[in-house]
Amino acid sequence: MSFLACDWGTTNLRAWVVGVDGTVIRSRDFPLGVAKLAPGEAAKRFRDEVRPGLVAEDLPAILCGMIGSTLGWAVADYLPCPVGLADLDEGLLEVDADVRIVPGLKTKGRFGASDVMRGEETQILGWLHADRARLKGRHVVCHPGTHAKWAICEDGRLVDFLTSMTGELFGVLSKHSVLKSDANPADRDGFDAGLEAAGDGLGLASRLFSARSRVVADGQDSESSAAYLSGLIIGADVAAAPKILGVEGEPVALLGEPHLCRQYGLALKAAGIDHSIHDGDDAALAGLFALHQEAMHDAR
């Protein structure tokens, strides 16, 4: 049967009514990010706005993303890696009649604490299941964003991952530090200069200051500062994260928002690493559809 699929994040909710064959029948975005909701408000807004907005009052629903966090509707537990689609299906949290939330994932981490993700797991496993050939062998997936995720997938399961706070670091430094700049972060020359300055990714705290010193001491144009900072942070992530995960030099599938994927693609190309780019919304939808199919199979 048809169902309602939702990727409900911090700032936005994207929803689709999906047919039995995976075809999108209707879709709509709602400005209902969990950061804007009061405690207990999610259930009411879903019932009163999302369902009628898509003529989906009587359809089963699967929700992924931050709606399953402490900020959202209810807390869906973190499942320990390795995790496959069947594990996500088993961990779905039912919060209302025919409404279930996808759990997040956790891994041991490498810096004395666990690492976690919520929402990206649906996209990554959806990307795997969108092409049956991807369910075999090993794949390195990078999901750029506020908190970029680097994941290792083996034989259809997400086995390990690493979080890099690249987007948030750029946002804080470019707005609230001595490196703040209102310049265009899309300046290609500045971005390329930042990629070169990132080097092997070590000593990022020291490298960051070059975003200021290159302007005040070397006469570089301050209009390139934001792009330089972006290139420096992304370049350092691309240089360091694969080494930390033990996948240095392996091809990378970039999955997520197209512009961010292109920026990471430039960094990977500069580092001599093969990459491909894939749309994050398509992957989220594929993951939610695959989970719906799994749940329908369970019900038989």
Look at residue 295 in the predicted model and tell me its pLDDT.
Answer: 78
Shared domain for 121 and 99, answered yes or no, is yes
In a domain, 146, yes or no: no
Shared domain for 128 and 53, answered yes or no, is yes
Percentage above 70 pLDDT, the chain: 99
Per residue in 177-236, pLDDT (tens digit) is: 999 998 888 899 999 999 999 999 999 999 999 999 999 999 999 999 999 999 999 999
**CATH value at residue 228:** 3.30.420.310
Shared domain for 116 and 178, answered yes or no, is no
In a domain, 143, yes or no: no
Alpha-carbon dihedral 128, 131, 137, 139, rounded to 10 degrees: -50
Average pLDDT over residues 69-73: 95
Shared domain for 108 and 195, answered yes or no, is no
Look at residue 16 in the predicted model and tell me its pLDDT.
Answer: 98
In a domain, 147, yes or no: no
Shared domain for 294 and 252, answered yes or no, is no
Look at residue 150 in the predicted model and tell me its pLDDT.
Answer: 98
In a domain, 149, yes or no: no
Look at residue 300 in the predicted model and tell me its pLDDT.
Answer: 59
What is the rounded average pLDDT for all residues in the chain? Answer: 96
Look at residue 299 in the predicted model and tell me its pLDDT.
Answer: 63
pTM here? 0.95
In a domain, 11, yes or no: yes
In a domain, 129, yes or no: yes
Shared domain for 175 and 96, answered yes or no, is no
**CATH value at residue 295:** 3.30.420.300
pLDDT at 161 over 70: yes
Per residue in 7-45, pLDDT (tens digit) is: 999 999 999 999 999 999 999 999 999 999 999 999 999
H, E, C per residue of the chain:
CCEEEEEECCCCEEEEEECCCCCEEEEEEECCCHHHCCCCHHHHHHHHHHHHHCCCCCCCEEEECHHHCCCCCCCCCEEECCECHHHHHHCCEEEECCEEECCEEEECCCCCCCEEECCHHHHHHHHHHCCHHHHCCEEEEEECCCCEEEEEEECCEEEEEEEECHHHHHHHHHHHCCCCCCCCCCCHHHHHHHHHHHCCCCCHHHHHCHHHHHHHCCCCCHHHHHHHHHHHHHHHHHHHHHHHHCCCCCCEEEEECHHHHHHHHHHHHHCCCCEEEEEHHHHHHHHHHHHHHHHHHHHC
- Cα 219 to Cα 59, 61, 212, 273: the distances in Å are 61, 56, 10, 32
Shared domain for 226 and 205, answered yes or no, is yes
In a domain, 233, yes or no: yes
Shared domain for 263 and 287, answered yes or no, is no
Domain that holds residue 61: 3-135+281-299
Number of domains forming the structure of the chain: 2
